[in-house]
């Protein structure tokens, strides 16, 4: 007999550092391999990014053609007020607008950080890319 698992919503929000409505709520659990998005174990077979789980627990399922984007540009953030649904194209446009991704890189799985790692032989803790003002919406 399997022990009764806690509902996902309970497990999930217990690992989110919930703060004020206009602050970022960062995922405190594990991160994905490339390091920035929170990684949530949904069930024995499924892992999902934390911001997506936050959206779905708050608003319901994400349509297949859409993705959950961050207004705050903070990948581990799970504050539903900072998340919005966009198409993959919106997300790319958003990334480019925020200077996270340079032109021509859209389809490359390699990040700037990966290239730095190759060049330096280690991954820098933080790569100063470019300061952009936070989008106020």
Q: Which residues bind Zn ion (CB under 5 A)?
A: 24, 72, 74, 77, 79, 82
Q: Are 73 and 130 in contact (CB under 8 A)?
A: no
> What is the distance between the alpha carbons of residues 80 and 112, in angstroms, rounded to a whole number?
28
| CB of residue 25 to Zn ion, shortest distance in Å | 7
Q: Which residues contact 28 (CB under 8 A, 6 or more apart)?
A: 15, 16, 17
> What is the distance between the alpha carbons of residues 38 and 11, in angstroms, rounded to a whole number?
14
Closer by beta carbon to Zn ion, 52 or else 82: 82
Closer by beta carbon to Zn ion, 119 or else 131: 131
| CB of residue 2 to Zn ion, shortest distance in Å | 35
Closer by beta carbon to Zn ion, 73 or else 105: 73
| CB of residue 133 to Zn ion, shortest distance in Å | 15
Phi-psi region of 99 (alpha: psi -120 to 50; beta: other; left: phi over 0): left
| CB of residue 21 to Zn ion, shortest distance in Å | 10
Q: Is the dihedral of CA 21, 92, 75, 62 positive or negative?
A: positive
Question: Which residue(s) pair with 16 in the sheet?
Answer: 27
| CB of residue 17 to Zn ion, shortest distance in Å | 11
Closer by beta carbon to Zn ion, 85 or else 116: 85
Closer by beta carbon to Zn ion, 5 or else 21: 21
């Amino acid at each position: 007999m399997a022990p009764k698992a806690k509902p996902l919503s309970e497990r999930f929000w217990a690992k989110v550092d919930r703060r004020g409505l206009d602050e970022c709520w960062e995922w405190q659990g594990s991160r994905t391999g490339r390091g920035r998005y929170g990684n949530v174990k949904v069930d024995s077979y499924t892992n999902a990014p934390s911001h997506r789980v936050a959206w779905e627990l708050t608003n319901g399922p994400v349509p297949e053609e859409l993705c959950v984007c961050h207004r705050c540009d903070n990948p581990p953030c799970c504050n539903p007020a900072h998340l919005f649904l966009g198409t993959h194209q919106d997300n790319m446009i958003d990334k480019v607008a925020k200077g996270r991704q340079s032109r021509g890189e859209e389809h490359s799985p390699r990040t700037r950080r990966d290239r730095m790692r190759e060049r330096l032989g280690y991954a820098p803790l933080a790569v100063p890319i470019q300061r952009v003002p936070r989008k106020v919406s």
